[in-house]
Amino acid sequence: MLKKHDKFAMAEAVRAAYQAGENDDETLEPRVLVGRDGKPIGRFRDGDYVIFYNLRGEREVELCQSLLDKDFTHFPVERNLRLNMVTMIPYHKSLNVKIAFSPEEEIHDTLSETMSQHGLRQVKICESEKAIHVSYFLNGKIREPFPGEARIVVPTPRDVPYLDQKPELNAAGVAEAVIQKLEDREVDFLFANFANIDVVGHFENEGAIKKAVEAVDTNMDRCLEAARKAGVIAIITADHGTVEKWYYPDGTIDTGHTNSPVPFILVDPDADERFSWKIREDGELSDLAPTILQILGLPQPAAMTGRSLLRHRPLGKKNRVLVLLLDGWGFSPDKHGNLIASAYTPVMNDLQARYPFTTLKASGEAVGLPEGTVGNSEAGHLHIGAGRKIYSDRLRIDRGIADGSFFENEAFLWAMRGAKAEGKNLHLLGIVSFFSSHGSVTHLLALLKLAKQEGLERLFLHAMLGRRGERKESGARYLEMIEKEMEASHLGKVVSVIGRYWSLDREENWDRIEKTYRMLVYGEGKPVFL
* Average pLDDT estimate for 219-241: 97
- Using one digit for the tens of pLDDT, what is the confidence trace for 161-189? 889 999 999 999 999 999 999 999 999 99
Last residue of a domain, one of 372, 390, 408: 390
- The residue segments making up the domain with residue 119 are 111-390
Last residue of a domain, one of 390, 422, 439: 390
Residue 280 has pLDDT above 60, yes or no: yes
Residue 367 has pLDDT above 60, yes or no: yes
Decide if 32 contacts 25 (C-beta within 8 A): no
Q: Are residues 459 and 505 in the same domain?
A: yes
Helices (H), 34-102: 61-68
CATH number of the domain enclosing 154: 3.40.720.10
- Using one digit for the tens of pLDDT, what is the confidence trace for 463-486? 999 866 566 778 899 999 999 999
Q: Are residues 306 and 424 in the same domain?
A: no
Q: Are residues 320 and 461 in the same domain?
A: no
Phi-psi region of 404 (alpha: psi -120 to 50; beta: other; left: phi over 0): left
Q: Are residues 425 and 312 in the same domain?
A: no
What is the structure's pLDDT at 493? 94
What is the structure's pLDDT at 468? 60
List Cβ neighbours of 310 (8 Å cut-off, separation of 6 or more): 277, 278, 279, 280, 291, 294, 295
- pTM higher than 0.85 for the full model? no
CATH number of the domain enclosing 29: 3.40.1450
Last residue of a domain, one of 390, 414, 443: 390
Q: Are residues 298 and 412 in the same domain?
A: no
The torsion of the CA quartet 274, 280, 286, 292, rounded to 10 degrees, works out to -30
Residue 5 — very low, low, confident or very high, per pLDDT cuts 50/70/90?
very low
C-alpha span between 62 and 59 (Å, rounded)? 7
Residue 67 has pLDDT above 90, yes or no: yes
* Average pLDDT estimate for 267-285: 88
Higher pLDDT, 470 or 298: 298
Q: What is the DSSP letter of 205?
A: -
Q: How many domains does the chain have?
A: 2
Residue 219 has pLDDT above 60, yes or no: yes
What is the structure's pLDDT at 4? 43
Q: Are residues 332 and 430 in the same domain?
A: no
C-alpha span between 433 and 485 (Å, rounded)? 15
Q: Are residues 259 and 378 in the same domain?
A: yes
Q: Are residues 412 and 447 in the same domain?
A: yes
Q: Are residues 248 and 140 in the same domain?
A: yes
Q: Are residues 67 and 152 in the same domain?
A: no
H or E element, residue 152: strand 149-154
Residue 1 — very low, low, confident or very high, per pLDDT cuts 50/70/90?
very low
Phi-psi region of 495 (alpha: psi -120 to 50; beta: other; left: phi over 0): alpha
Burial grade of 294 (CB within 10 A; 0-12, 13-18, 19 or more):
middle
Q: Are residues 225 and 337 in the same domain?
A: yes
C-alpha span between 40 and 309 (Å, rounded)? 58
Q: Are residues 359 and 430 in the same domain?
A: no
Q: Which residues of 247-260 are buried (b: 16+ CB within 10 A; e: fewer)?
A: eeeeeeebbbbbbb
- Using one digit for the tens of pLDDT, what is the confidence trace for 92-117? 989 999 999 987 667 999 999 999 99
